[in-house]
Amino acid sequence: MDTISNPAFSLSGLIGTAKSICGAASLPADLSATPGARDGGYMPAFVGTVLLLRLQRTASEPTQRYLQALLDARLSPTWRAGASEAAARRGLRSALEGAAGGVLLWEGRQLEASEGLEVASITDSARADVDFDALEAQLDISGALAVHVYDAAHHLFKGADICAAMTLEGIRGETGAFDARLHELGRPYPGQIAAARNVRRIVADSEFTTEDARMEFGGDSGPRCQDAISIRAVPQTHGGGRDALAWFAATLEGSLQQSVASRDMTLDYALDLLAIGLIDLAVISERRSFRMLDSRMSYGLPMNLVAENPGFNHGFPVIQAAAAAVVAEMKLKAPKGRGQGSFSALTGRYVPRGISSSIRLVELMDLLGKVLAIELFMASQAMDLTRRTLPNRAFGAGSAPALAATRTHLPMVLQNRFASDDMNVAEWLIVQGTIVRAVEDAIGRLD
Amino acid sequence: MHNDFSITGHDLTVQQIADAIATNSAQVGLDETAAAACHASRRQVEAWLGDEAPVVYGVNTALGNLKDTVLSPSEHIAWNSTIPYPHAVGMGHFINPVITRTALLIRANVLSRGYSGVRPALVRRLLDIFNAGISPAIRELGSTGLSDLGPMAHCAMVASGMEGARVFYQGKLIAAREALTLAGLEPRFTLECKEVLAIMNGSTMTQAAAALCINGAGNLLSYLEPIETAQLAAFPDAEELLRFNGSVAAVFAKIKRTIGFETNITCDNPLLFSNGNTYDVAMGCNCSNTQVGYDLDLLAILLSDKAAF
């Protein structure tokens, strides 16, 4: 096996190296499996790999060799999602020791720790000189989780921009709101500029987001000046979240250079800000998907996006209502407007939040993926319904491959069909990177 | 009269706003370069009001059912004299007059950037009202959730001296026209094509509150500093306090940067951008002040934690 060399301890270095070890995310063979680490699932291999890379930084030589052996074998220690930090720490130690109760992830499988070490031919002697007490004390669980949060959130921001662009195509929307000058001159926040640029690139050369397409389709009563706020405020709303993500990344970059013991609370605040941004991303996505249900708001698409035999076939209203429900769940996890810190009444000392801030983000991202999945599902239907009326036109440079990638796994809904399975598939396509990869393979890396 | 400073649309700081409010007699002017930028984009708007002008949505047309209808200059004036009324929503207590007056200054700064296509005279009108110490009277509840349409519609009414507009002036709640006259200003000011939307559209009232909040919060934190320093020896864990204060300072600085940045953006709609020979119009949604909203939530969290420590 190749020896994986440890990166410089920059955020991008850690992410790049961990991803090269874990391999590219791929769809599972069985798309009825539940995406994400929920319902007793385990934390992703990426998190455990980052943990190992971080541990190498301060480990003694025998321990470094042992950690390297785990990395070379692409074994990743993990713990059960939902566990407390103390339980996570015990679980990780057991995984590293090969002790009972420990779990190692390997090639997409969850293995008993002892079995995992055996599969990788890592013998007892390799562990003999490892100081597992010191290792456990140095576990930077919050740091590893924060790296995972950054990477996964960035991915979801890309997904959100793609979903918004696909909705824009489906409703034959107005691209003027994404004019670079509005953002670069009018309100030049970096995140806003990036979100607008992403959407422009995704719908580039679209023959649907044009005035003559709108006229030919016949759903507008006259020239469309501007779309609803859930569309035209995408740069500002997605951009605000992106700016929160950027500050989080800068803060994390600094935190990773510190020891866990000397780390301050700034990262917790950055996680709070990002949580707000992710919730907003879901709110505006749900508003976009809602508008696609109504012919008046979708500029002439069939009510409820029903393709054939309306009344007999039900369409998407209950699917869309699920997005509203998930958004409500997200709002319950919003940082409260006061007192996030915990101070011991007995000692007066600040009690660190530990992994709770990061875990909240992991949970929010899990829910956001579902809301975006519903928008992807509905926007794909809207695009295909629009194309039925305008069959000789082409979608944009990024939105066409996004639709094609979706249709590979999720056919257009023509008749009543089991919704939950479809929604699950759509979620996989969002969280596992299928749609983002399809777009980036076509038009290059998104911001 | 000598101006304490002039706005350019690009460099108004929170400190300048706070100082201008604190003195209550500050005189703020419009920078001549900014005035020229406003004049240039306004010339284009006026050209679009000519007889052979094309339809320019959101500029020489009305809204809604009349969005395809080109109005004449007099029709724009007539429409502008009524359209603020249905937008001027508000219930409950009055917003602190210091905030509403600050909004006039910040909105003048927004318009002075030259992308809004308004007359320099409108910018100067807003500054005159600010300089006179007049504060629009605006009830606080009834946000649209995005853009301060209700509060800024009240500001448009005050700027124009519309019937029913009220203000706080020298401690009293009176009709805007009466206050303007007492202050030596014209009681009426005609809002021409595009100028009502240019005042109404955007989150400037929130921005005014944000600027004053961040200034006030900064003052509170600075008051605490010598107190904490004096008590450090008695604190159970001085190192913990210093580390916490480091976080507070870093987060506070980030929030202050955002609010400072937002003071110098363009948030109305539509906007005019020069393409060399003429201007293009772009319709967007810069009224959405997402970053400020998020950072104000964070400020509440931060101050609560600081208070608890």
Query: Shortest CB distance from A341 goes to which of B115, B237, B305?
Result: B305
Distance from the Cα of A205 to chain B's closest Cα (Å) equals 19
Residue A45 CB coordination number (10 Å): 24
- Contacts by residues A342-345 (CB-CB < 8 Å, ≥ 24 positions apart): A343/B308, A343/B309
Alpha helices in A7-140 (DSSP H): 11-22, 45-58, 61-72, 85-97, 113-119, 124-127, 132-138
pLDDT at A39: 47
| Amino acid identity, position B47 | A
Return the exposure string of B99-122: e unless at least 16 CB atoms fall within 10 Å of the residue's CB, then b.
bbbbbbbbbbbbbbbbbbbbbbbb
Tell me which residue has tokens 């009001």: B49
Distance CA A292, CA A323 (A): 13
Distance CA A196, CA A447 (A): 10
Task: Kindly state whether B224 is in contact with chain A, defined as any CB-CB distance less than 8 angstroms.
Answer: no
| Amino acid identity, position A335 | P
**DSSP-derived secondary structure for B221-272:** HHHHHHHHHHHGGGSTTHHHHHHHHHHHHHHHHHHHHHHHHHTTS--SSSEE
Sign of CA dihedral A115, A117, A122, A127: negative
Task: Kindly state whether A347 is in contact with chain B, defined as any CB-CB distance less than 8 angstroms.
Answer: yes
Cβ pair A67, A138 in contact under 8 A: no
- pLDDT, tens digit (0-9, with 9 covering 90-100), for B268-284: 999 999 999 899 999 99
Task: Kindly state whether B285 is in contact with chain A, defined as any CB-CB distance less than 8 angstroms.
Answer: yes
Cβ pair B118, B20 in contact under 8 A: no
CA-nearest of A171, A395, A210, A174 to A299 is A171
* Predicted complex ipTM: 0.93
DSSP conformational letter for B282: E
pLDDT at B164: 97
Residue A334, SS3 per DSSP: coil
Cβ pair B106, B123 in contact under 8 A: no
| Amino acid identity, position A97 | E
pLDDT at A32: 79
Residue B219 CB coordination number (10 Å): 11
**Structural domain boundaries of chain A?**
11-139, 142-443
Cβ pair B247, A264 in contact under 8 A: yes
CATH 1.10.275.10 fits B5-308, yes or no: yes
CB-count burial class (<10 Å; 0-12, 13-18, 19+) for A124 = exposed
Query: Shortest CB distance from A264 goes to which of B146, B246, B298?
Result: B246
* β partners of residue A343: A350
Please name the residue of chain B whose CA is at the shortest distance from the CA of residue A347. Answer: B236
**Which residues are CB-contacts of A356 (< 8 A; sequence separation ≥ 6)?**
A85
**Structural domain boundaries of chain B?**
5-308
A265 with B302: Cβ contact below 8 A: no
B67 with A225: Cβ contact below 8 A: yes
Task: Kindly state whether A179 is in contact with chain B, defined as any CB-CB distance less than 8 angstroms.
Answer: yes
Beta strands in chain B (DSSP E): 5-7, 28-30, 91-94, 135-136, 139-141, 166-169, 172-175, 271-274, 279-282
Cis peptide, bond prior to residue B270, ω within 30 of zero? yes
The angle at the Cα of A76, spanning A73 to A79, to the nearest 5 degrees, equals 155
CA-nearest of B17, B5, B35, B46 to B192 is B46
CA-nearest of B144, B151, B184 to B165 is B151
Distance from the Cα of A157 to chain B's closest Cα (Å) equals 15
A232 with B283: Cβ contact below 8 A: yes
- pLDDT, tens digit (0-9, with 9 covering 90-100), for B62-107: 877 777 788 999 999 999 999 999 999 999 999 999 999 999 999 9
B284 with A177: Cβ contact below 8 A: yes
Tell me which residue has tokens 């946000």: B143
Query: Shortest CB distance from B309 goes to which of A225, A241, A350?
Result: A350
Please name the residue of chain A whose CA is at the shortest distance from the CA of residue B246. Answer: A264
Residues of chain B with C-beta less than 8 angstroms from the C-beta of A347: 236-237
Residues of chain A with C-beta less than 8 angstroms from the C-beta of B294: 240, 244, 273, 276-277, 280
Confidence band, pLDDT 50/70/90 cuts, at residue B183 = very high
In angstroms, the first-to-last Cα distance of chain A is 34
pLDDT tens over chain A, length 447 residues: 344 455 557 899 999 999 999 987 778 777 877 776 554 589 999 999 999 999 988 888 889 999 999 999 999 999 998 888 899 999 999 999 999 999 999 988 899 999 999 998 998 888 889 999 999 998 999 999 999 999 999 999 999 999 999 999 999 999 999 999 999 999 999 999 999 999 999 999 999 999 999 999 999 988 887 899 999 999 999 999 999 999 999 999 999 988 777 888 899 999 999 999 999 999 999 999 999 999 999 999 999 999 999 999 999 999 999 999 999 999 999 998 766 667 677 776 667 777 888 999 999 999 999 999 999 999 999 999 999 999 999 999 999 999 999 999 999 999 999 999 999 999 999 999 999 999 999 999 999
Distance CA A272, CA A279 (A): 11
A335 with B284: Cβ contact below 8 A: no
**Residue A57 tokens, joined:** 């930084």
Cβ pair B35, B262 in contact under 8 A: no
Task: Kindly state whether B261 is in contact with chain A, defined as any CB-CB distance less than 8 angstroms.
Answer: yes
Distance CA A208, CA A387 (A): 9
Average pLDDT, chain B: 94
**Residue B257 tokens, joined:** 């940067």
Task: State residue B167 phi and psi, 5-degree precision.
Answer: -140, 165
- pLDDT, tens digit (0-9, with 9 covering 90-100), for A99-141: 999 999 998 889 999 999 999 899 888 888 999 999 999 899 9
Distance from the Cα of A228 to chain B's closest Cα (Å) equals 10
Task: Kindly state whether A175 is in contact with chain B, defined as any CB-CB distance less than 8 angstroms.
Answer: no
Cβ pair A209, A169 in contact under 8 A: yes
Length of chain B: 309
Distance from the Cα of A318 to chain B's closest Cα (Å) equals 26
A 267-326 residues with CB below 8 A of B? Answer: 269, 272-273, 276-277, 280
Distance CA A274, CA A244 (A): 5
Distance CA A238, CA A277 (A): 8
Cβ pair A364, A333 in contact under 8 A: yes
Distance CA A361, CA A47 (A): 14
Query: Shortest CB distance from B305 goes to which of A174, A225, A339?
Result: A339
Question: What topology does CATH give the domain A142-443?
Answer: Fumarase C; Chain A, domain 2 (1.20.200)
Query: Shortest CB distance from B288 goes to which of A237, A277, A343?
Result: A237
B283 with A350: Cβ contact below 8 A: no
What is the pLDDT averaged over residues B247-252? 96
For residue B135, what are the CA distances in angstroms to A86, A387, B17, B94, B102? 56, 54, 15, 11, 8
| Amino acid identity, position B152 | M
CA-nearest of A341, A175, A151, A351 to A252 is A151
